[in-house]
């Protein structure tokens, strides 16, 4: 059984929290829960950004570099139903060369890297980073 925080919170509660605190309806994304088993980027816990909402709710937002790592990972999943969403997000984030290198270095530590490396190369080329694609 995987990490199921989304099921524990329930869609109705997520909507209430979103409305009460001015967050988008899709503010909670537990899609990358398999990464809890595979391995998150080193130092991610220390980079989390804490935001409190009243006395009982604390949200920890992912830092920019960790978000980029996870977006590159998700966009490199050619079977993912949201692949184009992740690619669009990466275009908007416009990662630096160093941020892409860090994402690829982290992905190399994951069990599925070999499977995803071909798609990762295509992704980097599509985003205008042929030099980094060569590195993959």
Greatest CA separation for the chain: 49
For the chain, what percent of residues have pLDDT higher than 70?
Answer: 85
Supply the Cα-derived Rg of the chain in whole angstroms: 16
pTM tops 0.85, yes or no: no
pLDDT at 10: 61
Which is more confident, 115 or 74? 74
Higher pLDDT, 11 or 41: 41
Nearest CA to 89 out of 105, 103, 110, 109 is that of 103
Mean pLDDT for the stretch of residues 14-24:
81
pLDDT at position 79 is 66
pLDDT at 122: 87
Q: Which residues contact 6 (CB under 8 A, 6 or more apart)?
A: 14, 28, 30
For residues 34 and 96, what is the distance between their CA atoms, to the nearest angstrom?
Answer: 26
Helix (H, G, I), strand (E, B) or coil at 53: strand
Tens-place pLDDT, residues 87-135? 899 999 999 999 999 999 998 898 878 878 888 888 888 888 888 887 7
Confidence check: pLDDT of 80 > 80: no
Instruction: List the chain domain ranges.
Output: 5-61, 64-135
Average pLDDT of the residues in 10-15: 72
Phi and psi at residue 60, to the nearest 5°: -110, 110
Q: Residue 5: which pLDDT band, with cuts at 50, 70 and 90? A: very low
User: H-helix or E-strand containing 107?
Assistant: helix 97-107
Q: Count Cα atoms within 13 angstroms, Cβ side, for 6.
A: 11
The position carrying tokens 């993959």 is 136
Long-range contacts at 48-52 (CB < 8 A, ≥ 24 apart): none
């Amino acid at each position: 059984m995987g990490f199921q925080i989304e099921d524990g919170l329930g869609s109705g509660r997520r909507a209430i929290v979103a409305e009460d605190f001015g967050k988008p309806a899709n503010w909670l994304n537990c899609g990358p829960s398999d990464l809890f088993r595979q391995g998150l980027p080193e130092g991610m816990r220390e980079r989390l950004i804490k935001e409190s909402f009243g006395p009982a709710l604390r949200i920890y937002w992912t830092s920019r570099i960790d978000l980029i790592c996870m977006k590159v990972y998700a966009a490199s999943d050619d079977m993912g139903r949201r692949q184009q969403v992740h690619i669009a997000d990466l275009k908007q984030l416009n990662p630096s060369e160093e941020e892409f290198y860090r994402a690829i270095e982290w992905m190399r530590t994951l069990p599925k890297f070999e499977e995803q490396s071909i798609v990762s190369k295509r992704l980097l080329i599509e985003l205008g980073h042929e030099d980094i694609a060569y590195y993959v």
